[in-house]
Structure 1
């Protein structure tokens, strides 16, 4: 009985230690990202992903860090490298969870990165896929505010370009803000970004 209890206690202690290392690593990676050290944050998330093969979040953040970084540059080689890295990380988790709403949103964001970089080349290729991905993300999780806001923001960009009415998109932005208010991430590390941008977008709607 004592040996069984010892093994159980050891297992619990080991699990707590592993969890602690995961939490420490994630916190450090977010800290680096917050300091604008995108490549260091990405590398940290990659190391965590290698150790946490059954956890989709580290690779999700590898993809998100590199995707958001791609919007900061107009250098073709750099954009291509960042978005390719993001896609490879996302593909690892997409193969396991093809109906994960957050992964669908991130795939749409990666395609948006290509469209934003070179609309003439990539808009025709990816625009329909972007809206379809956001639709799938909303269907997979109707409470996901990023799925609602992402689609509204993307369609608003097209409406402004063609001089169309943006009122329907603004209504969806408002709906996304309502969803952000109710959204409760599963853990401190689950996606919760987007509210600030949605609020700023709604201000533009009212101008």
Structure 2
């Protein structure tokens, strides 16, 4: 009987290790595509992939987080093309995953607050003048929380730089100040080490793009 129980335990441990290895491989493959994807279709595929991964481990916040991020990046891709009509729906899809990530994340998490900020900004861009006091205020609130929780987070610095750079001067923006903030973000990326290979580590290539452009 003891021999049977030992064999069962070893088999279970082997299957668990294989499942964990399979999970990490799938996560790494899809995370690597977050910064190389460009089209809405590519981000849709990534969101669906992370959705499937999340379904296999609903107590892990990271697959939900990346599914939310993929949806946000999908919305931002459409926004760059001037396609604003679907942003409310996409932001809503992203928010479902962000809320799921927040529910199972171990602590109050700056990365999740930053996604909340980005989702609110997407909703605001549908009609900035009408939504500045609602979604715009929500975005500012979430950014403040993220920055307070993790002031050296390079992604917080990056999104802050974007806001400054792309906001018209009459509303408080500045391309010059924004460029300095991109440099600050890149410096933070260069000294930043994620907690693990699966933890958020996106954004450096964008900071490099703007900083390298400034040097030309």
Distance 1:165 1:64, change over 3 A: closer
CA–CA distance in structure 1, aligned partners of residues 177 and 69 of structure 2: 28
CA RMSD of aligned residues (A): 2.8
Give 3-state SS (helix, strand or coil) of 2:196's partner: coil
Map of 2:171 onto structure 1: 162
Unpaired stretches in structure 2, ≥5 consecutive residues = none
Of 13-22 and 35-44, deviating more is: 35-44
Question: Is 1:48 the equivalent of 2:53?
Answer: yes
Q: Secondary structure at the match of 2:86?
A: helix
CA–CA separation in structure 2 for the residues paired with 1:68 and 1:2: 53
2:197 paired with 1:188: yes
1:89 corresponds in structure 2 to: 97
> After superposition, where does 1:119-198 map in structure 2 within 5 Å?
119-158=128-167, 160-162=169-171, 168-198=177-207
- Size of the aligned set, in residue pairs, is 207
Whole-Å separation in 1 of the counterparts to 2:209 and 2:169: 16
Cα displacement string for residues 116-147 of structure 1 (whole angstroms, at most 9, x for unaligned residues): 34322322322233233222112212331111
> Which whole-Å CA distance do the structure 2 matches of 1:184 and 1:31 have between them?
16
After superposition, the C-alpha distances for 1:156-185 in whole angstroms (9 at most, x for unaligned) are: 333535366555544433222111011112
Q: Which one of 68, 76, 88 corresponds to residue 63 of structure 1?
A: 68
1:37-92 per-residue CA deviation (whole Å, 9 max, x = no partner) reads: 22222111111111111211111111111111112224455222211110111111
Using CA pairs under 8 Å that are at least 6 residues apart, name the structure with larger relative contact order, 1 or 2: 2
* Cα distance in 2 between the residues matched to 1:7 and 1:165: 64
Assess, with a 3 A threshold, how the Cα gap between structure 1 residues 188 and 161 changes in structure 2: closer, same or farther. farther
1:79 paired residue number: 87
Q: Which residue of 1 aligns with 2:18?
A: 17
TM-score (norm 2): 0.80
Q: For structure 1, list consecutive stretches of 5 or more residues without a partner in the other structure.
A: none
TM-score by length of 1: 0.83
